[in-house]
Every structure is written in structure tokens, then in C-alpha cells.
Amino acid sequence: MLEILAAGLFLLSSGAAEATDTAAPATEEPAKPTGDDRIKCKRLSVTGSLTKKEKVCKTIAEWRGMRERNSEYARDLVDYTRGRPAGN
């Protein structure tokens, strides 16, 4: 009787182990960023230092936005100074 009980427990435990192995949820890989969501790192010079560089990481969209804003500021500055006469 004890042998039958031991055999039953063994079968149940091995079946439960197989069930948990097959029922384990599949881990999904996170979606890789594409296009404007990708991260790009640049090494920028630190103001006031000849040799020190700083690593800055931003998304492609953030870098594009910074470039466009800086171009707009530079264009506005040139247009402003062209329209005003220089002198005393």
C-alpha cells in the first residue's frame, strides 16, 4: 500500500513539474525602437575647457528639434542685425 502511494506521489510530482515548465509564460522581447525613438549619444565639448568632453544621449527626434531651434535662433539673429543700421 505504501509503495502504491509513493508511486502515485512520484507521478503527480513529475506531472506537475512538466505542467509548470510548459505553462511558463513566454517572455516577450521589448520592441526595439525605430526611427525617431532611437537613442543617439554624442560627445560634446564642455564650455571653458579645451579637452573635456561630455557624453549626451537623446532620441533622434530630440536632436533634430535642438538643431532646428538653434538654426531658427541663428537666422533670427542675422535677420535682426541686418535690419538695423550700425554706428553711433
State pLDDT tens for residues 4-22: 656 666 666 655 455 455 5
Question: CB of 37 within 8 A of CB of 20?
Answer: no
Sequence length of the chain is 88
Give whole-number Cα distances, 70 to 4, 38, 50, 76, in Å.
81, 21, 23, 10
Task: Choose among 36, 42, 44: nearest CA to 65.
Answer: 36
pTM: 0.54
**pLDDT surpasses 90 at 25:** no
Question: In the chain, what percentage of residues exceed pLDDT 70?
Answer: 67
How high is the pLDDT of residue 10? 64
**pLDDT surpasses 80 at 43:** yes
**pLDDT surpasses 90 at 71:** yes
Question: CB of 55 within 8 A of CB of 41?
Answer: yes
